[in-house]
Structure 1
Amino acid sequence: MIPSPAIAKVFQGVASRQQMFRMLDRHGQRPYAAPFYAGEWFEIGETEHDYMFEILPPLWIRGSMFAMREFMTGSVTSVFFVLRIDAAIRYFHGYCDLSDKASVETMRVAIIERESRPVRSMTRQERLEHIWSTTADDYRGYAGDKWPQSARGKRTVALYGGNEGTFLKLLEELTDGEIAVKLPVHLRHLPSPIAA
């Protein structure tokens, strides 16, 4: 089983085809030992869902869900969901670890719970994941040998420091101000669900 801290929404909004493929490889620069993929999910459109269904014969189909035949790593593969949320049909992609028999249902329930919130909001972790998902590869990476041992393998992003120039910072250590600068304007002022 690939370790994962939790089920996490990694992109706000409905991903276009280009964004979807970018997120399918959002850990392309990862160091070998880093935990990745399992538990990550995002919303896609119907066209993207249908396109992925037609690429290869699915590993399995269960009602309105199907799993890709190709595994990302170990027992982790893409699972696509068609869910009715608040009377609307919506489409989602999630990485599930199939060695955990409950992972697909756990993911489905988590998506429905998250997307059924009455007020549009983003947690700090969702903000960080969106930043990671939308930052170009040249401006994100993983802390290497020049970082303290405790930081190695953690995700980094480039920041512009004015007169100081560009510098790298651990994604998890971004301040609220740095997060706001890195987010698109329409997402900067969404409330936190904790504050509600």
Structure 2
Amino acid sequence: MTILSPIRKVFQGTATRQQMFSLFDRHAQRPSRWEDGASALYAGEWFEVTEAAHDYMFEILPPLWIHGSMFAIREFLTGSLTSVFFALGIDGVDRRFHGYCDLSDRGSTEAMRLAILERECRPVRTMTRDECLEHIWSSTTEAYRGYADDRWPQPVRGQRTVVLCGEPRRAFHKLLSDLTDDEISAKLPVQLRHLPAPLVA
């Protein structure tokens, strides 16, 4: 399985409460679920939530800690990894976010906060290829996503797959990382299909 650890946005738009709970464990189908802690898989993931969802999570259990406009959930996902919720003012609008931070790294919450601010303060709405792929994974139901098993070549086993529709009326699995630009466009919601890619210096 490909191990992910950079800070990254995994869902475009504001997640509903139902979507939030689904995104909390979007790697639940991984083959090694009961064999590893998967801290590196979840660490760095973040997405926007509603104010109501943010407040619900604040009230459901006493927070582990509160630092200014952020708080950490008392229950750890795995090891020292837990949910941290952020209330941030961006372009004059109060917004709420959830991120997975490894609290063994004292700088992880501040790094997450700064990464969210940097990403959301872009003057033009953009999506990188990686953000497109993460959104596709996050928004695809479990019946249409999975992991490469022993039917796949050894080097790619454990990598994420999604179901595509072929011709005529034939569904097939393809590695998420191998989707073409046209396949990505077809899998994205209409409102996200034509966002410009960010300029790379």
Question: Could you tell me the TM-score, scaled by structure 2's length?
Answer: 0.93
Runs of 4+ in 1 over 4 A off after TM superposition: none
Number of the residue aligned with 2:158: 153
User: Which one is further off, 49-58 or 164-173?
Assistant: 164-173
Number of the residue aligned with 1:133: 138
Question: Could you tell me the TM-score, scaled by structure 1's length?
Answer: 0.95
Percent same amino acid among aligned pairs? 66
Number of the residue aligned with 2:16: 16
Number of the residue aligned with 1:59: 64
User: Which one is further off, 71-80 or 106-115?
Assistant: 71-80
Q: How many residues align?
A: 194
Number of the residue aligned with 2:91: 86
For each residue in 1:77-122, what CA deviation from the matched residue of structure 2 results, as whole angstroms up to 9, or x when unmatched? 1000001111111100000011111111100000000000000010
What do you get for the CA RMSD once the two structures are aligned? 1.4
Could you list the runs of 5+ residues in structure 2 that have no partner in the other structure? none
- The answer (yes or no) to whether the contact 2:5–2:42 under 8 Å persists in 1 is no
Asked if 1:68 is matched to 2:56, the reply is no
- The answer (yes or no) to whether the contact 1:123–1:194 under 8 Å persists in 2 is no
- The answer (yes or no) to whether the contact 2:5–2:41 under 8 Å persists in 1 is no
Could you list the runs of 5+ residues in structure 1 that have no partner in the other structure? none
Number of the residue aligned with 1:30: 30
Alpha-carbon offset, residue 161 of structure 1: 0.6
Secondary structure of 1:79 counterpart: strand
Alpha-carbon offset, residue 4 of structure 1: 3.4
Number of the residue aligned with 1:188: 193
Instruction: For 2:17 and 2:5, locate their aligned partners in 1 and report how far apart those are by CA, in whole Å.
Output: 27
AA aligned opposite 1:156: T
Secondary structure of 1:94 counterpart: strand
AA aligned opposite 2:152: W
